[in-house]
Homo-oligomer: A and B are copies of this chain.
């Protein structure tokens, strides 16, 4: 199909499609003349994925590029999960050494209970340290009393995440599922947490 048809089938405006092509979010079509190209089902599918990562997952163009890069590189399942953390907007709060040591020591105790063998160059640990530092800095250190419960619930979520991938056959399917499941899954889990908070709050405090 031509660009105009790709636009009407996918619901994405032509100008946006051209922008995605320039940014490398969409693979080029097959050239049929110097200024025309033909697009196929793979383009429709990729456009849907890009829209979902941006609109539903809330990713930036740069984060979408990284996510698609991981899918296109057909990295291993273990690495596919690894890249997905790039989808977290990294807090740009400077954490001093004292805060860092305090947060790490506190989290290591929790991780040990979960049987986790922490990889200290994991960017997600940096994010965790920043949030822990922010809680303390704002005088809400008590919110960290729930860290063991949060870690335990997160482990259950992660086990389900991995179980969903286990039945898949092609590497492409596994990698795309890991990306979509992690990025869009974050939004799903935020929504479920809000719904559950309302339910628990209603039970505890009534109206």
Q: Give the shortest distance, in Å, between A197 (CB) and chain B (any CB).
A: 4
Q: Give the shortest distance, in Å, between A198 (CB) and chain B (any CB).
A: 6
Q: Give the shortest distance, in Å, between A117 (CB) and chain B (any CB).
A: 7
Interfacial residues of chain A within 108-141, with CB under 8 A of chain B in the complex: 111, 114-119, 122, 124-125, 127-128, 130-132, 134-135, 137-140
> Are A89 and B58 closer than 8 Å at their CB atoms?
yes
Q: Is A204 an interface residue (CB 8 A)?
A: yes
With contacts A78-B201, A153-B153 known, is A85 near B124, CB below 8 A?
no
Q: Give the shortest distance, in Å, between A189 (CB) and chain B (any CB).
A: 6
Interface-facing stretch out of A14-22, A23-31, A49-57: A49-57
Per-residue contact bits, chain A 50-87, to B (CB 8 Å; 1 contact, 0 not) = 01100110100000000000000000111001101100
Chain B residues within an 8 Å CB radius of A159 = 149, 196, 200
How far is B200's CA from A189's CA once the two chains are assembled, in angstroms? 18
> Are A195 and B145 closer than 8 Å at their CB atoms?
no
> Are A155 and B196 closer than 8 Å at their CB atoms?
yes
With contacts A52-B93, A118-B195, A191-B128 known, is A202 near B135, CB below 8 A?
no
Report the 8 A-B pairs with minimum CB-CB distance, sorted nearest first.
A158-B196, A124-B194, A154-B192, A146-B160, A127-B191, A128-B191, A85-B194, A149-B160
Given contacts A56-B134, A131-B184, 10 further A-B contacts (CB under 8 A): A48-B138, A56-B130, A78-B205, A78-B206, A81-B197, A84-B194, A124-B191, A150-B157, A150-B189, A159-B196
